[in-house]
Amino acid sequence: MMANITELSDKTFNDETGKGLVITDFNADWCPPCKMMNPILEKLSSSDQLGDKIKFTSMNVDQNPETPNNFGIQGIPTFIIKKDGNVVGRMVGYQPEEKFRMELEKFM
């Protein structure tokens, strides 16, 4: 997994995403758009502008089916944005870096 992104499981999801501003990338190893998002997520999670203000997390939907099912995830990648435990945003599919950054900045 990428250095600045916390890998989640069904067991750790609630504890890791319950406080502050958190984005979770729901993905799978076989998903090309998921792989295309990896460098964007790594760059943004490492940036001074976002990395210190947003916790970046990731969950493999094949290894952890319960949480994606609870959130009605039907397509991947899906990005869920939570603020203090409440879902405040959702994006589905590949997102260009600038669009993705602008969407995240709305919640800061």
Tokens at 5, concatenated: 């992104």
The single-letter code of the amino acid at 85 is G
Asked if 59 and 12 touch (Cβ cutoff 8 Å), the reply is no
* pLDDT, position 48: 84
Task: Note if 34 is an active site residue.
Answer: yes
Dihedral angle at the C-alpha atoms of 37, 12, 65, 61, nearest 10 degrees?
Answer: 10
The catalytic position among 5, 8, 22, 34 is 34
Q: How many helices (H) and strands (E) does the chain have?
A: 4, 5
Q: Is the pLDDT of residue 108 over 90?
A: no
**What pLDDT is stored for residue 3 in this prediction?**
74
pLDDT score recorded for residue 52: 86
Q: Tell me what the pLDDT averaged over the chain comes to.
A: 95
Residue 49's pLDDT is: 83
Residue 2 has pLDDT above 80, yes or no: no
Average pLDDT rounded to a whole number, residues 76-86: 97
Q: Out of 5, 8, 23, 31, which one is annotated catalytic?
A: 31
Domains of the chain: 6-106 (3.40.30.10)
Check if 31 is active-site.
Answer: yes
Tokens of 21: 């501003």
